[in-house]
Amino acid sequence: MICADTSFLISFYGDDVNSEQARMLMVSIESLSVHVISEFEFANALRLLVFRGKIDSSMSDRCLADYKADKARGVIIFESAELTQVFENAETISADHTELSGNRAYDILQVAAAKMLGATDFWSFDGKQRQLAKTEGLNVWP
Question: Domains of the chain, with CATH numbers?
Answer: 2-141 (3.40.50.1010)
Q: Could you read off the pLDDT of 67-99 as tens digits, one per residue?
A: 999 999 999 999 988 899 999 999 999 999 999
Q: Could you read off the pLDDT of 11-31 as tens digits, one per residue?
A: 999 999 999 999 999 999 999
Which H or E element spans position 28? none
Confidence (pTM): 0.92
